[in-house]
Structure formats: C-alpha cells, structure tokens
Amino acid sequence: MSLDYVTSFVQLKTKTNENVDNFVNSLENLSFFVKCIKMKTSESSRLFCGHRALGYVSNQVPLVVRYVKKRRENLIATSVGKSFHTYGGSKLGLLSVSGIHPEDINCLAAGEFIVWVSWSKFWQLTICFSDTYHVYSAAGKLVYAWRRGSELKHTFHGHEADVKLILPFGPHLITIDSDSQLKVFEIRSEKEQLHLEFSNKTFEITTVCHPATYKDKILLGSVQGSLQLWNLKSAKRIYKFKGWKSQVTALEPCPTVLDAVAIGLKSGEIYVHNLKFDETFVKFKQDWGPVTSLAFRSDRNDLLISGSSGVSDEDTMSTSGHIAIWNLNDKKLAGQMRDAHLSDVTGMACFPGEPLLVTSSPDNTVKQVRKKKSLQFHDFLHYSFVFSGFLTCPMVEVDF
C-alpha cells in the first residue's frame, strides 16, 4: 500500500469524524430532536401513525343510526376495524373518521331520537329517550364515547372481559361483556352505578333492548333461548320468558304497538311477542338460516324487516345474505330481496319516520333502501349501494 493512499485515507477519516461530531452537536442544540431520540416506543411521535383506512366501508360489526337535530339528518356509523366512519344519511357521503382504538372495535351504539308513528289515523308520539349526542364504541375491555364522530369525550373502565353489547339508556350507559357481566355507568361522571352478574352456563347474554314505554326496564336474550325482563332501578328481575329452545340472535321493540317486541332466533323463526301477557302476536319463519338483524318501519307501515346470515351456494361456493319484508297485518311475507349482500346482513336500521332502510355486511358494503312513491297501488323499493366509499347509481327496483 502506497504512502499517499494511507495519508489520503487518514485525512478522509478525520474529516468524516469531524462531520459526525458537528452533526451530533447540532442535534444537541435542537431540543425537540433530542426528545424524539430519547422517547420510548410507546411515546413515539404520531407523525407516521395511521390516519384512516382507505377502501373500507363496513365489517361484521352492525351499523348504528342517530339523528342530528342541527343537520336535520340521520347519520350512519360503521366500523372498519380500529376506527369507525360516519356517513350522511341523505347522500351517504363520508363526514368524519374516529380516532384509532387500541384494539378492533367489538360493537357500536348510538342514542335514539323521538319517533313519530301513526295510530288510528292520528299522529301520536312515541318517546325513545336516549343520549343523541354521542356514538359509543367498545374495543377490548374499554368503552369510548365520541362527540361529532371524532372527538373523544368519555372512557368507561371496569370490565374484565371484552365488551360485546352497548345500550344507551337515558343519562346512563349499559355495557355487557363476554362473561355476561352487566354494568350501568353514568355518562357524565363515568362512574359505575350498577353491576349485575350472570352465568354463561345458565344465561349467556346475546342481545339487549329497551322496550318502548317500559321505564327503567331492559329485555335480555340468551344463548339458552330464554329471555329476562329486568328493572335496573331496583336491580330486580321482573319476569323470565321460557323462549323457544333456540338462541336469541336479535331483539327489536315495536314502535307502533305497546308491549310488543320482535324476537329473532338462530333457527330462523321470528316472533312478535307481547311482553305484558307473555303471548305471541304473530310468528314468521325464514328458510335462509339464523336471523341476524331486525327492523320496524315507523312511517305508517306495519312492516317488519329481517336479515339472514350467509347462505352457502354449493355450485359457486359463495355466501349471500337475504332480506325479508313481513306484513304484520296480513301475517305473511310481503316481499324479499335475494342476494342483498354477499355475506351476512349484520346491520339493519330504519330511519325514524322515513321510508328508508340501511343495511351493512362484512362484504364491505352499506346499502340504502328507499320507498318510491308511485301512482299505482304498489310500494316500490328503490335501493342503491356504497362500495369502497363511492356512491353508485341505483341498481334494481323491487315490487312487492
């Protein structure tokens, strides 16, 4: 090795070391760089944190609908993993994206609004009182309350298992975990007000609802098929319904008939049951598998809408979810929408006082069904769908 080469190498090494020292000194002078270097991984900068999921619209978590008085519009919230999206009900445009949860969202809930119903050709008022300002989400053992779909206002602690059910209940919030532990929180103070324990061996809770006009009372469904009516103010069980020896998969209070609740079973049967006298008004049976969702129309139409789980097709090896429309007065099937979704119809809701129905599914779609006025004596369901966040033109027209 020549002497000139060694000399040039030493000079280059010296200049490199000087440049490194100067760079380190400049970093020490900038406090925010030093803080970023010394931060722990859990306290790292949010510069490269995910903002929102592109191309996702919905998953297996059922959608929720809430009415915003200032906008005079119903908003739709759907889960997309660790966050949820809020869409406008009129044009299905994306309005907001929530913050990222530490875990995948297990369930969503939103407060109800006052519903106008028709009764004996006169308008009457059915009161559905709940908090209409928040959207509630459960991720793991924690429950979060969001304002405007993106501002975190409250966090509720106390569960030792993953929360699977949420029900806004006036100024309180009811949460149920996978161990069938029921807790009631006061929303403003975030304090636990009541704790009820159930055993999964005898009564594993699957669904919960608040029957209309039943003050301080909730109805619980179970895997074993039985149902229980509880008074949360006195923390006592009022009545136990034997059920129909099939898992209760859906509960929906009737907005036009007092004491009536629609009960969907895993066997595919649907019962509109009278809670006061423990009698069944009407019974339906769908051959498409378990009932995954139920909804009543409240716009002067006595219709019950049910969704089914995915039905396997042996030829195409695909699954599809169907929707059935039941006429409560005639006690028969009024219409159906075959292959409404490519998977289970997990979410379903009717807009209060409007001829609109929205559904969601794990197939990454949200569909909206609209009643179209016609000069004929028929009701036309005109529906369009959203896929990957883009609104398309109406696809099909169903006459029933």
Res. 276: pLDDT tops 90:
yes
The predicted pLDDT at position 353 comes to: 79
Kind plus residue range of the DSSP H or E element containing 4:
helix 3-29
Find the mean pLDDT for residues 44-72: 79
Res. 374: pLDDT tops 70:
no
pLDDT band, residue 300 (cuts 50/70/90): confident
Q: Which two tokens stand for residue 200?
A: 């999964």
Find the mean pLDDT for residues 138-159: 94
Most trustworthy range by pLDDT among 18-27, 171-180, 295-304: 171-180
Q: Average pLDDT of the chain?
A: 79
- Phi and psi, residue 389, nearest 5°: 85, 5
Assess contact for 368 and 354: CB atoms under 8 A: no
- Phi and psi, residue 16, nearest 5°: -65, -45
What is 175-221 written as a DSSP string?
A: EEETT-EEEEEETTT--EEEEEE--TTT--EEEEE--TT-TTEEEEE
Res. 296: pLDDT tops 50:
yes
More confident residue, 228 or 56: 228
Assess contact for 347 and 325: CB atoms under 8 A: no
Lowest-confidence pick of 132-136, 218-222, 233-237: 132-136
pLDDT band, residue 319 (cuts 50/70/90): confident
Find the mean pLDDT for residues 355-362: 92
Residue 156's contacts (CB-CB under 8 Å, 6 or more residues apart) are 142, 143, 144, 145, 173, 175, 185, 190
Measuring CA to CA, which residue among 282, 172, 274, 162 is closest to residue 227?
274
Res. 13: pLDDT tops 50:
no
Rounded to the nearest angstrom, the gap between the alpha carbon of residue 235 and the centroid of all alpha carbons in its chain is 27
Lowest-confidence pick of 27-31, 277-281, 320-324, 332-336: 27-31
pLDDT band, residue 116 (cuts 50/70/90): very low
Assess contact for 353 and 114: CB atoms under 8 A: no
Kind plus residue range of the DSSP H or E element containing 37:
helix 31-38
Res. 380: pLDDT tops 50:
no
Res. 257: pLDDT tops 90:
no
Find the mean pLDDT for residues 87-110: 92
Res. 344: pLDDT tops 60:
yes
Q: Which two tokens stand for residue 18?
A: 């000087």
Mutual angle of helices 31-38 and 3-29, in 10-degree steps: 100
The predicted pLDDT at position 27 comes to: 39
More confident residue, 362 or 3: 362
Amino acid letter, 371: K
- Per-residue pLDDT tens for 241-255? 999 999 999 999 998
End-to-end CA distance of the chain: 94
Q: Let me know the angle formed at the C-alpha of 314 by 311 and 317, rounded to the nearest 5 degrees.
A: 80
Assess contact for 362 and 344: CB atoms under 8 A: yes
Tally of helices (H runs) and strands (E runs) in the chain: 2, 33
The predicted pLDDT at position 384 comes to: 35
Assess contact for 208 and 219: CB atoms under 8 A: yes
What is 78-96 written as a DSSP string?
A: EE-SSSEEEEETTT--EEE
Assess contact for 153 and 147: CB atoms under 8 A: yes
Query: 53-399 adopts what CATH topology?
Result: Methylamine Dehydrogenase; Chain H (2.130.10)
Q: What percent of the chain stands above pLDDT 90? A: 56
The predicted pLDDT at position 312 comes to: 55
What is 34-77 written as a DSSP string?
A: HHHHH--STT--STTS----TT----SSPPEEEEETTTTEEEEE
Residue with tokens 């009415």: 67
The predicted pLDDT at position 72 comes to: 87
Residue 375's contacts (CB-CB under 8 Å, 6 or more residues apart) are none
Q: Let me know the angle formed at the C-alpha of 134 by 131 and 138, rounded to the nearest 5 degrees.
A: 110
Tell which phi-psi region holds residue 81, choosing left (phi > 0), alpha (psi between -120 and 50) or beta: left
- DSSP secondary-structure letter at 394? -
Q: What percent of the chain stands above pLDDT 70? A: 72
How far is it, in rounded angstroms, from Cα 154 to Cα 190?
A: 7
Lowest-confidence pick of 35-39, 57-61, 174-178, 331-335: 35-39
- Per-residue pLDDT tens for 151-192? 999 999 999 999 999 999 989 999 999 999 999 999 999 999
pLDDT band, residue 310 (cuts 50/70/90): low
Number of neighbouring beta carbons within 10 Å of residue 331: 12
Res. 20: pLDDT tops 90:
no
Measuring CA to CA, which residue among 274, 276, 231, 224 is closest to residue 249?
224
The predicted pLDDT at position 12 comes to: 41
Measuring CA to CA, which residue among 302, 355, 290 is closest to residue 332?
302
Measuring CA to CA, which residue among 100, 185, 104 is closest to residue 138?
104
pTM, 2 dp: 0.77
The predicted pLDDT at position 53 comes to: 64
Res. 207: pLDDT tops 80:
yes
Assess contact for 186 and 157: CB atoms under 8 A: no
